[in-house]
Structure 1
């Protein structure tokens, strides 16, 4: 029966760099066009729907600050994932590493934030950030250890650990970190202002973490494009046999990439609970770790691209929230747009890398 289909996919030559970077733009445009059709199918004005997604998030300083605020954890997680994916290590557990980073940093703040404490706020912030990085890296190290010692599939291990992390957070806010004065709600106490991240723009919720994220994106650009370690990771991902021939350790690439990725995700979690949330809750993320996978691929696994991809994904988050309040659409609209974007990105990449050719007649 397979011979009845007269066409086959044939790999093209190496696509040009321009076409490689054009693919995400094509996917974004097609996502918005399909989104307009979706609005029409739901009985909404397509132009009003697109306005909510594309224009309203830029309406004023506060709206722009919210866009940058939501982009911060997405960019941080995507920076770490880009390192992993370049090294051909498929870390799908950034969401769990984000959660454990938030848990570790939140536990640190609960420990430090006591009456008449002797720890200055600046020192507490540094300890909180370090705890988040250590927490995320520790959770990623479990995946690295199982892959290293037992050759376990890192996709399944990192993904399953995400659910373990969520259960740990639920246990913590219902047990040892629960606010005794919180009327039995599963949450930690609200952290003191001196242990919260300083604001970047007055009158907004945008904190200094966004500036730190941009600095880290610049650092990772140098690391991935100009450093020997970054070069060895890239070679190991693209051509593992050549990497072994050149003496690059695949074991080292596994551990370095996963620890970097986990550390970035943990830092994102720390910024989230010491920024817009201000305490530990049963859920500290609306799915930033999973959405960051799309961000990394939109950005072509490049740190600068991750910044741009994070802004695009943040736009979808804010647009989805505005669509709920102004158009009466369900909360799932954000996930629908994210799914369309990922599907169309993969389709665009396929069309760029492959072409249909008629099978030769036998």
Structure 2
């Protein structure tokens, strides 16, 4: 009698090919999706994938959106390597953006004070601290009460959103803003400098690249990174070696929250230029996909960030050019994640008929 059996058949090279295969399949099913919506599939794919990178200005926008995605994914990769399932990078980004925006508004009084560069440095540090503190709530509840970090970090995201709404409707509200829920626009001295004239790409992109390199060294060339990885892959072996699971929990969540908070600070002091009710269109959630596309590798997350930022821009193009709903971006993101998981399963396990 024949039966279907799963046998392990994984390899490092095939594991890194999985995201590429998943992306190609996403493009194929995306073409079918455009056909189902009554659109020319070639035109749809051209608008979704080619138009966002048609010139230098468009590529600069692509890199601008890549920056917060990669920063959030860097921290999430550390968490997932340590087997700590942080789902709340979005809330940590909001907390960091709120802290950074409050810092800029404190100094942006119109009277001479600290230089713009010093204020931006303080705002970035405030964003990192704000994101880390928000993530520390998850670490504390998991450490002291064994609360599930998935639920806690996710619920804290909604609390962060409500806190942001309170801030822009209360203490940070612009008194001359015609009663709109937003802070005043920051002075140009307190905005991140642009890398190129005529584009919104700012110096945060360079910081993101440097952070990716430093995290690669931390993960692959430091004892602390090795300790985190062992704790995630083999908890019993880590305990036998004397590695503290408690330290891994706190370290990974604080790093993750810090990077997400930095992303929030860069958004507030960068393309937004003020504190709004919505700091992020979902970068913290999309960064989960970015981390797994990059195989939890700090350098690989750059590739994942480029793909997801392309989806964001492609979704905006599809709305304006093809009249499609905004949900098209989420559909492509969901397809990519589902197909990535499917490709991982088929690569790690192969089907075999056995008597």
Same fold (TM over 0.5): yes
| Uncovered stretches (5+) of structure 1, i.e. residues with no partner | none
Write the mapping of 1:222-237 to structure 2, written as runs, cut at 5 A.
222-237=217-232
Deviations 1:167-197 (A, max 9, x none): 0000000000000000000000000000000
Q: Is the 8 A contact 1:298 1:305 kept in 2?
A: yes
Mapped partners of 2:297, 2:220: distance in 1: 9
1:175 is matched with which residue: 156, 161, 170? 170
Deviations 1:291-346 (A, max 9, x none): 00000000000011100100000000000000111111111000000000000000
2:307 pairs with 1:312: yes
Q: Which residue matches 2:87?
A: 92
With the length of structure 1 as denominator, give the TM-score of the two structures.
0.96
Count of residue pairs the alignment pairs up = 355
- What secondary structure, in the 3-state scheme, does the structure 2 residue paired with 1:356 have? strand
Mapped partners of 2:102, 2:43: distance in 1: 44
1:27 is matched with which residue: 7, 22, 44? 22
1:301 is matched with which residue: 265, 271, 296? 296
Q: 1:47 to 1:127 in 2, by over 3 A?
A: same
2:6 pairs with 1:10: yes
Mapped partners of 1:113, 1:306: distance in 2: 35
| Uncovered stretches (5+) of structure 2, i.e. residues with no partner | none
Write the mapping of 1:10-159 to structure 2, written as runs, cut at 5 A.
10-13=6-9, 15-159=10-154
For the aligned residue pairs, the C-alpha RMSD in angstroms reads 1.2
Q: Is the 8 A contact 1:9 1:354 kept in 2?
A: no
Q: Which residue matches 2:345?
A: 350
- What secondary structure, in the 3-state scheme, does the structure 2 residue paired with 1:55 have? helix
> Cα offset for 1:206?
0.3
2:252 pairs with 1:244: no
Q: 1:7 to 1:171 in 2, by over 3 A?
A: farther
Mapped partners of 1:106, 1:6: distance in 2: 64
> Cα offset for 1:210?
0.3
Mapped partners of 1:215, 1:251: distance in 2: 28
Q: Give 4+ residue runs of structure 1 displaced > 2 Å after superposition.
A: 5-9, 355-360
Deviations 1:207-258 (A, max 9, x none): 0000110000000000000000000000000000101111111000000000
Mapped partners of 1:200, 1:137: distance in 2: 28
- What secondary structure, in the 3-state scheme, does the structure 1 residue paired with 2:195 have? coil
Q: 1:157 to 1:7 in 2, by over 3 A?
A: farther
> Cα offset for 1:117?
3.4
Q: Which residue matches 1:280?
A: 275
Mapped partners of 1:127, 1:291: distance in 2: 27
2:189 pairs with 1:197: no
> Cα offset for 1:30?
0.2
Q: Is the 8 A contact 2:22 2:343 kept in 1?
A: yes
Q: Is the 8 A contact 1:96 1:165 kept in 2?
A: yes
- What secondary structure, in the 3-state scheme, does the structure 1 residue paired with 2:313 have? helix
Q: Which residue matches 1:215?
A: 210
Q: Is the 8 A contact 1:80 1:265 kept in 2?
A: yes
> Cα offset for 1:358?
4.4
Q: Which residue matches 1:161?
A: 156
Q: 1:53 to 1:7 in 2, by over 3 A?
A: farther
Mapped partners of 1:115, 1:175: distance in 2: 21
Q: Which residue matches 1:339?
A: 334
With the length of structure 2 as denominator, give the TM-score of the two structures.
0.98
Q: Is the 8 A contact 1:81 1:293 kept in 2?
A: yes
> Cα offset for 1:357?
3.8
Mapped partners of 2:320, 2:128: distance in 1: 35
